[in-house]
Structure 1
């Protein structure tokens, strides 16, 4: 199987996020959460759109801190924007939740980890959602080395999962997927207890992996 490149997917994802921010009148509701980790620092943004009104919040701080500090959007937004422009981006599969392999502890300092959870309903459209855990690089040389290290944990042939998944219709979740969520939740809970305190804190701050597809 071939590791799936997600650079083009992330570019399109950013276009969708910008549409929500720039043209809120086209959407009935949206919740977009982004958490970025680079060089031991975390940057988080939350955009909530309800009744054509968009509220944005930014937070930054060391990844090991108990709580991230409020940010006016200057530093945090710039870091998040830089992530979406990286030339080499890949994604982790659900397997990363079932191994004692924290991306924050094993990723190299030249990598950026990005968790993006987007739940959107356009005017007259069906609700759609995606939640992906990405890893991005500034050049193919660093990317190639990291891909060899985490090859088994990355998405191959677009086979994502129930916790990390590409765009899907929220109303299309089957009982099989729900059962897979329940089984993975148990494994995830056990894994999180074994993961490093740094990753667990950042993971919880990044809005919780144990949510099901249809919940906010």
Structure 2
């Protein structure tokens, strides 16, 4: 009986962590992808275009815009621009012992829960992409390509309340002309948020 219980427990653990990426890591990855993609679209909006979208949707720009109205505007922009992006289906490893990570971890007083996180496949079905943004294998001629994203495993503090993640956003599909970046996150009310 003990063997059956042990085997079933191991099977459940295997199913839940088959790719080795934890639920918290996926939550951090989702916040990161959202941060990488969404602000980009809002920077390419002329005043005339904003006025047109607002008029078409009955939004008064002379008052404070509600979250609902902001979402309507954001979706309208995404539909017009036909934003496209690519993302690597593997996730790079992270080591808290590397020189770059060490100084950033010390800056935020992060004591890593795990020292070395291995590269692995990324389950893209667990990544929530912004609505009206299309993941593509190669850019089409009908859209605005935002770039290719490569993510690294997030390093999460032992407390489970702080994290840091390294990523690259490349201007083209081949992975050239990349901008490496780090994001710092904090868990508040059971949700990961980007810290400045």
Is TM > 0.5 for Structure 1 vs Structure 2? no
**Larger strand share, 1 or 2:** 1
Q: Which has the larger radius of gyration?
A: 2
Q: TM-score normalized by structure 2?
A: 0.24
